[in-house]
Amino acid sequence: MLHQEFPFVNSPYQKLLHEDKNEVKIYKAPDIFKRTLAPATTTTSVLGIKFNDGVAIAGDIGGYYGKLARYKHLERIFKVNDSTVMSTSGDYADFQHIKETVQQRIISETILEDNFSLKASSLYTWLTRLMYGRRSKFDPLWNNVVVAGYDDGEGFLGVVDLRGLAYEDNCVATGLGSHIALPVLRSAIANASGTFDKEMAHLTLSKCMELLFYRDTCSLPKFQIATITKQGVEISPIIEVKGNWDVAAMVQGFE
């Protein structure tokens, strides 16, 4: 007589027979290992300021592993079009993702051939939705994004953080610059005698980048300045800080 097997193969009874009551079960959320729990390569402060004919922003070119200056030539001021630029502080890989996403959006709008280009204010609003959407999925883009441009005859300057929170102002800063450089930027605008022009804006940004080099351990002495006016976008070559460490002799109490 042939042995007849019971059809247990995919039944719940088979699971009960092979179940180990002492087994520890670990339930993991889907794609848990695809989340950026902490940024790897990071970038530091971005500064921005308005002047009478446009906007200027500045950022250094360093990339860091923690406090280690691992990369010394990461240019992170991105020209979106002839009237808009953006830059970020935070995770550099996420900046690359944001950059590619914006580039794809620009291509999609160019295909329409409707003679409209993306304004800085529109990009700023769209980025709030992008950042908030990723935050709501518990998979944020670990960046603070500075958007600068020239819209409708005046400068535009705004910041969007990793949660989608956003604000506009005459001067902005991210990272440690929001604590160290922002008061200097505000003071320069408030105490300007006469018109606050392009040269004064560049001088103020250069002083702030030098100050960050002295005070921020994650800041290189090399940076770039992007200027946006009605003539278009101009990104400077790399500028190097000429530091003066004579002040070190006056630092006391850390011997």
Helix or strand holding residue 104 (H, E) = helix 92-112
Q: How far apart are CA 164 and CA 247, in angstroms?
A: 40
Q: Which of 82, 201, 202 is nearest to 151 (CA)?
A: 82
Please indicate whether residue 36 is annotated as part of the active site: yes
Q: How far apart are CA 48 and CA 225, in angstroms?
A: 9
Q: State the burial class of residue 116 (Cβ atoms within 10 Å of its Cβ: 0-12, 13-18, 19+).
A: exposed
Q: How far apart are CA 84 and CA 157, in angstroms?
A: 10
Amino acid, single-letter form, for residue 190: A
The active-site residue, picked from 36, 101, 128, 229, is 36
Q: Which of 109, 100, 145, 110 is nearest to 125 (CA)?
A: 145
Q: State the burial class of residue 138 (Cβ atoms within 10 Å of its Cβ: 0-12, 13-18, 19+).
A: exposed
Q: How far apart are CA 119 and CA 117, in angstroms?
A: 6
| Residues annotated as part of the active site | 36
